[in-house]
Structure 1
């Protein structure tokens, strides 16, 4: 279980890291292609991107060091909650494939949080 959780944490960190970089640094370049980016002000997208980058670090470092490994649970929980926001935004624009991706990522984050809290906590 520990290996599975580590693999999922690393994959999630890569996905959310790329997403955060896109929202913070490449927003103007990609926002024209995604209608739902108009649902929230640019500042909100930037803040969400920064949140994703911070949580990306939180998915790996606290557990890897092990310094306050419960922060990994917090980071995964925040990203799971953020997925609910994205599902709402994409539903508003009827972007079904993106809704599915957001739901899968949200469930993945919830599993990581549960896994690190209950199934295989890092002590």
Structure 2
């Protein structure tokens, strides 16, 4: 189970750091081209990117450095919340297909939360 959780954490971390990095480095014009960004200022999208990078790192660093074992499930729980909000936003805008990836990431992060908390007992 631990190997499976590590693989899941690495995949999630790479995805979130990649997506977050794109949100931080794209120009404002490139960010406005994304359909879900209507109504959101570029600064908010960049802040979201920074949060995603920190969350991605937080899935890996505590376990790699032997820090508090609660930090990894806490980071994953934050991603569950973030992805739940993303799914809700896409569904509210009628973007059903765009809600699929955040829903999958939500489930993956929830598995990390459950698995890491289960290992603490």
TM-score in terms of structure 1 length: 0.88
Q: State how far apart, in whole Å, the 2-side matches of 1:29 and 1:109 are.
A: 31
Question: Whole-Å Cα distance in 1 between the matches of residues 73 and 3 of structure 2?
Answer: 16
SS of the counterpart of 2:63?
Answer: helix
Further displaced range: 71-80 or 26-35: 26-35
RMSD of aligned alpha carbons: 1.8
Corresponding residue of 2:63 = 63
Deviation of 1:27 after TM superposition, in Å, equals: 5.2
Q: String of CA shifts for 1:36-90, please: whole Å, max 9, x gaps.
A: 1114222222211111111111100101111112111111011110001111221
* Structure 1 unmatched ranges of 5 or more: none
Unpaired runs of 5+ residues, structure 2, are none
TM-score (norm 2): 0.89
Mapping for residues 24-103 of structure 1, pairs under 5 Å:
24-26=24-26, 28=28, 30-103=30-103
**Displaced runs of 4 or more, over 6 A:** none
How many equivalent residue pairs?
121
Deviates more, 1:11-20 or 1:64-73: 64-73
SS of equivalent to 2:94 = coil
Q: Does 1:11 align with 2:8?
A: no
How many Å apart are 1:9 and its aligned residue? 0.3
